[in-house]
Amino acid sequence: MNSKTNLFGIDSVRDLTKAAVVAALYIAVTMVFAVFSYGPLQFRPSEGLNNLAVFNKRYVIAITLGCFISNMVSSLGAIDMVVGTLETLVALLTINLVTRKMKNLVAKLATSVLIGTFFMFIIAFEIAFVGSTAFWPTFWSAYLTTGISEFVTMSIGAIILYIVNLKFNLSK
């Protein structure tokens, strides 16, 4: 259920607990796969959780917080804490807003995957900006690699969350 009274969808201790668990899960999965989660060839399995934004807006802030904390140990430094986190926030807000009126869950999750993949251009820009090589070739190669990674991890995450939602209503 999307909260009508709170900007972040967190109206109770129960909502806060759910958000905290998701943020902690994002951090834990990122750290378990840390060797793949950072750098120009990142493959961050925790990005599959971005699909939760289609279920409830409380997950937007939860995943953004998890991303911020995870980016504290990024090899890109403080810039990743700002740019990487803002990219996550913008992508999740867009996913939540675009899919809010959609009825079909499969369509919502597919849209989520495509939006998440599209917004990786921001991370590619960050990598190209920080890199010490030619900007545009670095940007396009980073966009290709991070875009493919995001597409794969979010697609796997969408399938997992679809199955989990069959048993536990993730919208509540």
Name the average pLDDT for the chain.
93
Task: Give per-residue pLDDT as tens, 150-166.
Answer: 999 999 999 999 999 99
Q: What share of the chain in percent tops pLDDT 70?
A: 95
Task: Give per-residue pLDDT as tens, 116-128.
Answer: 999 999 999 999 9
Sign of CA dihedral 29, 88, 152, 141: negative
Model pTM score: 0.93
Distance in Å from the first CA to the final CA of the chain: 5
In the chain, the amino acid numbered 57 is K
- Which three-class secondary structure string do you get for the chain? CCCCCCCCCCCCHHHHHHHHHHHHHHHHHHHHCHHHHCCCCCCCHHHHHHHHHHCCCHHHHHHHHHHHHHHHHCCCCHHHHHHHHHHHHHHHHHHHHHHCCCCCHHHHHHHHHHHHHHCHHHHHHHHHHHCCCCHHHHHHHHHHHHHHHHHHHHHHHHHHHHHHHHHCCCCC
**Class for the domain spanning 13-167:** mainly alpha
Task: Give per-residue pLDDT as tens, 4-49.
Answer: 557 788 889 999 999 999 999 999 999 999 998 887 678 999 999 9
Q: Return the domain boundaries, the chain.
A: 13-167
Least confident of 67-71, 76-80, 88-92: 76-80
Is the pLDDT score of 3 beyond 50?
no
